[in-house]
Amino acid sequence: MTGTRLPLLFIIFLSISLNGCTGLFFQPMKPLVRTPGDINLNYQDIHFTSQDGTNLHGWFLPAEGKAHGTILQLHGNAENISTHIGSVHWLPPRGFNVFLFDYRGYGQSAGNVDLPGAFQDIEAALQWLKNKPDIDPNRIVVLGQSLGGAMGTYVFANTGQSKIIRALILDSVFSDYQQIVREKLGSFWLTWPLQYPLSWLVTGKYSPAEAISQYNTTPVLIIHSKNDTVIPAHHATQLFAHATPPKELWLMPEGRHIAALNQPETRNRLVNYLLQILDNPTQHE
């Protein structure tokens, strides 16, 4: 989710009965505002297909030097990879490959986005990464941010792929679709009376809080700002309560939505966490 203004949300909710949750949860942008080359990063321009044949686009950023592992980024609901690269551009210099891609309807990816389609795209992205011959498929970590984390948690738990990723990192992720809808509606006087009837139009079928309990031995790290005004921090504590060990919760004292990784100390802490996970061969057995 992004910091969408509530009057705009009200307009979106008026059309929710016709469009499901697509207009609420997805706000794609087509133009790419920059490439990795513009910020002095080596990259490969990647085109691959989703499970239903939809053409998708992404960037593979190779690690500088020998790679410790590979990070699959699942970005949030707005804009596209050309802006969300801001969360991961620092990882290749620290020794990590990064694969970031756009769901259908975003950036240079074809089609129109909806939840079932985006689920297929996420599954296809991990499969593409596993099949890439120059990476170690046993050292893939998922970084899901906001909506991307909510979707990825469900997808990997329900396709068996949770068993093949080395860790699931959730940054600023909500715990339940219906709950976040009710909270957004309830925070604005004009939509407050509609919070329950309209939230019932959003499916609760794909709840991240339910899916996260299926990760079993896969390490889960939840990062969230205590001051997040887009997705309140209690969503992080709810996810953490449903997760099974090994798990960690980092509640950051400062920062905006999806801003924790802008801080050098958080980046250092995350690198140490990743090295510990990746260098422990028994962690994921």
Q: Which string of DSSP letters, residue by residue, matches 111-170?
A: S---HHHHHHHHHHHHHHHHH-TTS-TTSEEEEEETHHHHHHHHHHHHHSGGGT-SEEEE
Instruction: Assign residue 84 the CATH number of its domain.
Output: 3.40.50.1820
* Structural domain includes residue 34: no
Q: How many domains does the chain have?
A: 1
Residues of the chain where predicted confidence (pLDDT) is lower than 50: 1-20, 186, 189, 191-197, 199-200
For the chain, how long is the longest CA-to-CA vector?
56
Model confidence pLDDT, tens digit, residues 161-215: 998 999 999 999 999 877 677 666 645 545 444 444 454 455 568 899 999 999 9
Q: What's residue 204's pLDDT?
A: 64
* 16 and 197 Cβ atoms separated by less than 8 Å: no
Q: What's residue 201's pLDDT?
A: 55
pTM recorded for the entire structure: 0.88
* Structural domain includes residue 195: no
Model confidence pLDDT, tens digit, residues 23-36: 567 899 999 999 99
| Token representation of residue 265 | 């100390």
Quote the CA–CA distance of 85 and 73 in Å, as a whole number: 9
Residue 120, φ and ψ in degrees, nearest 5: -65, -40
Quote the CA–CA distance of 216 and 40 in Å, as a whole number: 39
Pairing of strands 27-28, 78-79: parallel
* Structural domain includes residue 30: no
Model confidence pLDDT, tens digit, residues 155-167: 999 999 998 999 9
* Structural domain includes residue 264: yes
Domain housing 143: 43-176+208-278
* Structural domain includes residue 22: no
State the Rg of the chain over Cα: 18
The H-assigned helical ranges of 167-226 are 177-186, 195-199, 208-211
* Structural domain includes residue 116: yes
Strand partners, 47: 57
